[in-house]
Structure 1
Amino acid sequence: MQYFKNESHYDYNVKREATVSEQQELFRESDTKGLKISANKNLGKHNLELSTKYQKMEVVNGLRRYDYGTSTWGDWTAAPGITGGEIKTFMLNASDDIFIDKAFFNLAAGYEHIKREVTSNVKTGAYSSLLPSELLSQVVQDDTDEKDNVLSLSATAGYEISPAFIPYIKVSSAARTPYFNEQYGNNPNNGSLIPNQDLDNEKVYGIDLGADGQLGKFYYSSAFYYQKYKDYIELVNTGYKTTGNLPIKQYVNLDDAEVYGVEAMIGYNITNDIFAQATYTYTRGKNKDDDTSLAYIAPQKLILSIAQVKPKGLNWRLEQELVDNQDKISEVNGEKETAGYGVTNASIAYNFDKFSVFKSATLSFELNNIFDKTYKEHLSKVSSTSYYIPYESGINGAIALNLKF
C-alpha cells in the first residue's frame, strides 16, 4: 500500500526572438495525491499481480506581463487556455506471468476511469483582434465536465532457445484522453495556439519483436516496434497567421498514423561490478493520410557508458550521449530542424549498508553536460507551441539522498 503526494511549481520566463525579449512570465502549479494498492501471488507456473490506484491532480497557472513604461511587472492573471483543472483517475490493472519449461507468457489488462473538470479561460473577445475571422468560430469558452473509460490490453510470448537467444513477440492496444494544452490551447503565445475541444481519444495498436541474451561476458537486448494510431493527436499549422504574424497552430485528430523504430543495447562485463554498455534508439513517425512525417519525433541516439554498480560502497557512471540531427520534420506543423550534438554526463554515489536508524542510505551526485556544450533539444518542452526552440541549459547537476526505513 502506498500513499503519494507531489507538489510541483515552476516559473518560466517566456523569451521571444524579438526586439523586446523576456516580456512575460508564466507559472504552472500542480498538486497530485493518491493511493495505490498492489498485491502478487505465485502459483507455481503462474505469477499473478493485481494493482489499483486512485489519483487526483489539480492544476493552476498564471501569467504576468512586464510594463516597460513603469519598469514593473503587472499582476498575475490566469493564462490563456484554462484557469484551473482537476483530473480524478481510478485505475485497475491485472497481469499473469506464465512459465512453462523454456516458454514464457504474459497477459495483462488495464482499466482506467477518468473524470475531468476544467475551467476554461479561452477569452473569445481577446482573440478577436488577433485571429482571422475564419478561425473565430473555433475559439469558444466551454468548461469540461467529462467522464472517460479507457482500456489497455497486451499479450507477450517468448521462448529461450538458448541463453544467448531468447526471442519474444508482444501485441498491445491502449488509449488516452487529450491533455489540457491540446484541448484548450493553453499557452501565452498571443493566439498562436488555438483550442480544439472536439478532440477524440487517441487509440494505438502495437506489435513488438525482440530478443535478449548473454554469451560469456557479453549481453544484449533488441526490439523492433510498430504502432498504428487511430485519431492520433497532432499539432498542425492551420495556414493562418495572427495579426502579429505568428503562425497559428491547433491540435487535431489524424485518421491514420504510424510510429515504428528500433531499440538495441549491447554490454560487456569487465569485472563482476564494472561494465561497458552501448544503447541505440531510432524512431520514425508518419502521417499515413498524406505520407508525411509526424511532428516531434525523437532523432536517433547513441549512448556510450561505463559504470560500476555495487549493492554497497562506491558507485559511479561516465556517459557520452550522441544525438543525430533531425531533418525528418512535419511540414504542416511548421516544425524546426535541429542539429546533432554530443554531451558528457557523470555521476557518483555511495551506498551505505546501514545509516543510523535507517536500513540503508544512498548519497548521490550527478553532473550533466560537464563540458558546457551549446545545443538544442528537438523535443524541448516549449518547442511544440513556440516558433523557435530554445537552447538547453549548460552545466547542471543534482544531489540526492535516499533513505530506507
Structure 2
Amino acid sequence: MNIPYFPSRTYRRNFRRLQRQFGLLVLFNLFLLDSYGQQTISKTPVFVGHLQDSLGEPISGASIMQRGKGIVAVSDRHGTFRLHLVKTTAILVQHVGFEALELDVRATPDSSQQHWVMKRKSSFLDMVTVTASTLPKELRQISSSVSILQKDAPELRQLQSIDEALSYMPGVMVDRSRGLTTTGTHTGVILRGTGSANRTLVLKDGVPINDAYTGGVSEWNSLATNSIERIEVVRGPGSSIYGSSSMGGTINLVTQKPTDALLLGADLRYGSMNTYQASVKLGKRFAKRWGAVAFAEYKATDGYAYMADSLWKDYYQKPQTSLLNINTKLTYDFDNGGTLAATADFNRQKPLTGTSILYDESSMTGNYQLRYQNNKARFAPDILAYYNVQSRMTTALNWNAKEEAFNSTSYLSRVPLDTYGIIAKVSHRVGINDLTVGADLRFTEVVSRKEYPDKGMQNFNGRQDFVSLFVNDDVRFSDKLHANLGLRLDHWANRDGYFFDNLSGKEVTIDYDAARSTVLTPKVGLTYELLTNLRLRSVYATGFRAPAAYYMYNAAPLGSSFRLGNPELKPERMRYAIDFGADLQLMEQLELSATVYTSEYSDFLAAVLIDPEEVPSYFDPGNLPVRQYINIGKVGLWGVESAVKYRVSSALTTQVSYFYNQSEIKKYETNPEYVGREMSDNPHSIYSAALIYDHPRVGHASIWGRHTGAFFGDLENTVEKKMESVTVVDLKLARSFGPIGVNFTVNNLFDKLYFGSYTSAKSYYYAPARTILLGINYNL
C-alpha cells in the first residue's frame, strides 16, 4: 500500500523563501540585461536620412532595405527615416515612383541628418518647368499646355537660329520668310493663331525681351544657339505671372550655367549661299564656389534672289547678313544655399538688302542681368535686376540708274531702345500652399530719329513704364490633385510722347497726352493625376498687351502703304482662354498629349485703311494708301493641339504633332463687313512629323517634315493675297569619332519652291530653296 508523502510545514516554508529569492535574482538579472541592452543601443550610432525629389519635396513610403535583413525602415511623411548602424552598411532605397538608390552609409555619434535626392522614373510628366509657375514645378502639377526642349533634344541639333527649333511644336507658327537672311525685326513666332508675333511673350532666363518699339522680339538671333540649356513653351495667356504681351503664350529661353565638368567645344559649318557658322564654348565651376561660362557664335551668308525672275532686277541686292553673339555668365554659391549669377550678352547684326532702295543696317544689343536666388531658404528670395540696351541704325540709299549705283541717300535712321527693371519675389510654404508674392518694375524708353537729306527730319519718342504686383499659389490638395492660382495687377503708362516733323518746310511739334490704365489678370488651373502616368488638366486665364510706342506716335511709309500712329490706343485684352487637356505615358515608350482650347480677345490692334482726307495736313503720305492703327473689335479663337512620341527602340523614335486653329472676327467697328472673316497669318492646320535614329556608336539620322495649311495675308481675306499650303522636309545626319564629330544638314530637301511671305500686289518673297550645310565639331 502506497502512502502519499506530505512535506513538513518547515520544508514548505523554506521552499517558498527559496522561490522568492530565485525570482528576485531573475528579475535583477533581467534588469541588468535590459540596462546593458539600452546602453548598447544608446551607444550605437543613429543614421538619420531624409529623402526628397528634385524639387525638394519629401518622399514618403520609401522602403529602406539592408543587405541580409530586408526592409529595416520606411520613410515617414517628412521623408525621414532612422537606422541604427555599427559599421558601414550597404542599403537600397526603393519607391514605386522613383529609380532605386544604392548607397554605402555609416553613422557616427555626431552624425547629422543627410539629404538624398531620388530621381523619378523616366516620364515627361516629371520634367521640371521654371516658366509655367513662379516656382519650379513638375509638369504633372502644371495646368497649362507646356512643351520643353532640352539641350540634347534632336530639334536643337545643327540649328541656324533658335526659333527654328520651335517649328515642330504644336500651336507654334514660325515666320522666318527668308531663312537666315531674315533680319531679327522681321522674324516672328506666333502662338495659337493670335495673328501677330507681339502677342507672344519671349523671355531670356525669365526676363522679357519683347522690345518697347513694336512689342515684338526684334532680335531672335541675339543668343548663341550653343548657349541654350532648354526652351520652354507655355501655351495660353501668362499675364498673371509675366504681364504684358503674353496673350497667345510665353516662350522662355533658358541658358546654360557653369557645371563641375569642364565645358569645352567648337563647331564650324559651311554651306549654300556662302554661309558660315562658327561657335565656341568654354566654362567650369572652380574654387568650390565660383563658376564661369562663355559662348561665342558668328554667322554670315550672302543670301539669294528672293523674288521671281520677272520681278528681280540685275541691280537688286541679295540680302547679305553677318551676326556676332557673345554670351557670358558668372556665378557664386553662398554657404546658405543661395546663388548669385551675373550675365552679360552682346549681339551685333549687320544686314544688307535692297531693291530700288538699298538698306544698309546695323544693330547692337546688350543684355545684362544680376540675379540672387535661394530656393532652400524658408522664405525663398528671387531678385533679378536687368538692363537691356539696343541701337538700330539704317542708311537707306536710292538706286541711281544713270550712274548705276546706290549713291543717293534716301534717309538716315537711328533708333536707340533702353529697358531696365527689377523683378523681386519671395516664396514660402504654408501648409499645402506654395505661395509667392512679388513686384515687377519695368521702364522703357524709345527714341526714333530719321533724317531725310535736303528735306528735313521726322522724329518721335516716348516712354512705357509698368508697375506691377502679383501673387501666385500652387496648392497641393493631395498627391493627385493640384491647383495653380494667380493674380496680377499691372499699371502701365505711355508718357512723354513727342513728335517732330519739318519735311513740309514747316515745323510740326506735337506733345502727346499720357495714356495709362490698370489691368487685372487672374488665372485658375487644376490638374488631376488619374493614374501615375495619366493627368487631366484645365485652366482659365486672361492676358493683355499694352500698345507700343511705334503704333502710337510713328507716321511714315511702311511697305506698300503709309502707316499712321494713334496716341489713343487701348491695350488689347485676352478676355478669356479656357483649356482642357490630357497627357499620357505608356510603358516609357508612348507619350500622348492633347489640348482643346477656346479664347476671345478684344480691342485687337490692326492697321486699317482710312480716307486720305482723315490724315492731318502736316503728314504727306504721297500717293500711298493710308492705314491707321486702331482698336477695332473682337476675335474668337478655338483649336486643338496634339502631339505623339513613340520610342520604337532605345535608338529609334518617331513623333507627330497636329495643330488646328479657327479664328473669326466677331466685331469690327469701322467696317461690319469684316465680321466673320479670319485673322491674317493664321493657317487652319499645321502638321509635323519626324523619324529620329540616335545611337551613340552608329550616329544620328533624322528626317523632319511639316505641312502648313493655307492662310490669308490680310484682314480683308483677299484671294490674291492668300498663301497656299506647303510641305517641307529637312534632313539631319551626324556621327561622332570620340570628341570629334561631323554633321550634314539639308533644309528643304526636295527643293520646294514656295512663298515665305506676301509684301505687296507685285511681289511675294520666296522662301529659301534647298540649302546644304556641312560641319565639324569638337566636344570634350
Q: Do both proteins adopt the same fold according to a TM-score greater than 0.5, normalized to the shorter chain?
A: yes
Unaligned stretches of 5+ in structure 1?
16-21, 129-138, 356-360
Q: Does 1 or 2 have the higher relative contact order (CA < 8 Å, sep 6+)? A: 2
Query: Aligned AA for 2:397?
Result: R
* Alignment partner of 1:345 is 2:345: no
Task: Find the counterpart in structure 1 of residue 583 from structure 2.
Answer: 212
2:768 corresponds, among 377, 381, 393, to 393
Query: Aligned AA for 2:568?
Result: D
| TM-score normalised by L of structure 1 | 0.73
Give the superposition deviation at 1:192: 2.7
Task: Find the counterpart in structure 1 of residue 351 from structure 2.
Answer: 11
2:403 corresponds, among 49, 66, 70, to 70
In 1: Cα distance, 2:633 partner to 2:357 partner: 39
Query: Aligned AA for 1:162?
Result: L
Give the superposition deviation at 1:151: 6.5
Task: Find the counterpart in structure 2 of residue 324 from structure 1.
Answer: 709
Q: Aligned pair in 2 of structure 1 residues 32, 296: CA closer, same or farther (>3 Å)?
A: farther
Query: Aligned AA for 2:608?
Result: V
Unaligned stretches of 5+ in structure 2?
1-340, 426-435, 437-471, 614-619, 668-674
Task: Find the counterpart in structure 2 of residue 61 from structure 1.
Answer: 393
Give the superposition deviation at 1:142: 5.9
Q: Aligned pair in 2 of structure 1 residues 76, 244: CA closer, same or farther (>3 Å)?
A: closer
| TM-score normalised by L of structure 2 | 0.41
Task: Find the counterpart in structure 2 of residue 135 from structure 1.
Answer: none
* Alignment partner of 1:176 is 2:545: yes
Give the superposition deviation at 1:392: 1.1
Q: Aligned pair in 2 of structure 1 residues 149, 364: CA closer, same or farther (>3 Å)?
A: farther
Give the superposition deviation at 1:368: 1.8
Give the superposition deviation at 1:109: 5.7
Higher helix share: 2
Report matched runs for 1:99-248 at 5 Å.
99=476, 100-108=478-486, 123=501, 125=503, 153-163=522-532, 165-179=534-548, 181-183=550-552, 184=554, 188-189=558-559, 191-204=561-574, 205-216=576-587, 217-238=589-610, 246-248=624-626
Q: Aligned pair in 2 of structure 1 residues 311, 170: CA closer, same or farther (>3 Å)?
A: farther
Q: Aligned pair in 2 of structure 1 residues 198, 375: CA closer, same or farther (>3 Å)?
A: same
Give the superposition deviation at 1:258: 2.6
**What SS does the aligned partner of 2:650 have?**
coil
2:752 corresponds, among 365, 373, 388, to 373
Give the superposition deviation at 1:321: 1.1
**What SS does the aligned partner of 1:101 have?**
coil
**What SS does the aligned partner of 1:208 have?**
strand
CA contact 1:185–1:250 (8 Å) conserved in 2? no
In 2: Cα distance, 1:367 partner to 1:211 partner: 35
CA contact 2:694–2:700 (8 Å) conserved in 1? yes
Give the superposition deviation at 1:343: 0.8
In 2: Cα distance, 1:145 partner to 1:404 partner: 54
Query: Aligned AA for 2:386?
Result: Y
In 1: Cα distance, 2:474 partner to 2:697 partner: 31
Give the superposition deviation at 1:211: 0.9
Query: Aligned AA for 1:200?
Result: K
Give the superposition deviation at 1:32: 3.7
Q: Deviations over 1:254-292 (max 9, x none)?
A: 232233322111121111242111111122222221333
Query: Aligned AA for 1:345?
Result: D
Give the superposition deviation at 1:98: 4.5
339-348 or 51-60: which moved more?
51-60
86-95 or 254-263: which moved more?
86-95
Query: Aligned AA for 1:368?
Result: N
**What SS does the aligned partner of 1:288 have?**
strand
In 1: Cα distance, 2:742 partner to 2:556 partner: 39
2:418 corresponds, among 86, 111, 128, to 86
* Alignment partner of 1:263 is 2:647: no
CA contact 2:712–2:718 (8 Å) conserved in 1? no
Q: Deviations over 1:216-264 (max 9, x none)?
A: 4332111122232232122323365997764432322123223332211
Q: Aligned pair in 2 of structure 1 residues 61, 369: CA closer, same or farther (>3 Å)?
A: same
2:662 corresponds, among 260, 279, 284, to 284
* Alignment partner of 1:296 is 2:681: yes
In 2: Cα distance, 1:255 partner to 1:58 partner: 33
**What SS does the aligned partner of 1:182 have?**
helix
* Higher CA-based Rg: 2
Task: Find the counterpart in structure 1 of residue 186 from structure 2.
Answer: none
Task: Find the counterpart in structure 1 of residue 384 from structure 2.
Answer: 52
CA contact 1:90–1:112 (8 Å) conserved in 2? no
Q: Deviations over 1:283-326 (max 9, x none)?
A: 22222213332222244110011114579984442101111122
CA contact 1:104–1:157 (8 Å) conserved in 2? yes
**What SS does the aligned partner of 2:551 have?**
helix
In 1: Cα distance, 2:703 partner to 2:400 partner: 46
Task: Find the counterpart in structure 2 of residue 23 from structure 1.
Answer: 357
In 2: Cα distance, 1:166 partner to 1:127 partner: 67
Give the superposition deviation at 1:31: 1.4
In 1: Cα distance, 2:603 partner to 2:658 partner: 29
Query: Aligned AA for 1:249?
Result: R
Query: Aligned AA for 2:629?
Result: Y
1:34 corresponds, among 356, 368, 384, to 368
Give the superposition deviation at 1:145: 8.6
292-301 or 394-403: which moved more?
394-403
Q: Deviations over 1:91-122 (max 9, x none)?
A: 45755554421223334566778787999787
151-160 or 216-225: which moved more?
151-160
Give the superposition deviation at 1:6: 4.0
In 2: Cα distance, 1:296 partner to 1:400 partner: 34
In 1: Cα distance, 2:502 partner to 2:727 partner: 45
CA contact 2:512–2:567 (8 Å) conserved in 1? no
Aligned-residue sequence identity (percent) comes to: 17
In 1: Cα distance, 2:513 partner to 2:377 partner: 45
CA contact 1:152–1:173 (8 Å) conserved in 2? yes
In 2: Cα distance, 1:142 partner to 1:152 partner: 31
Q: Aligned Cα RMSD in Å?
A: 4.6
**What SS does the aligned partner of 1:78 have?**
strand
In 2: Cα distance, 1:332 partner to 1:239 partner: 20
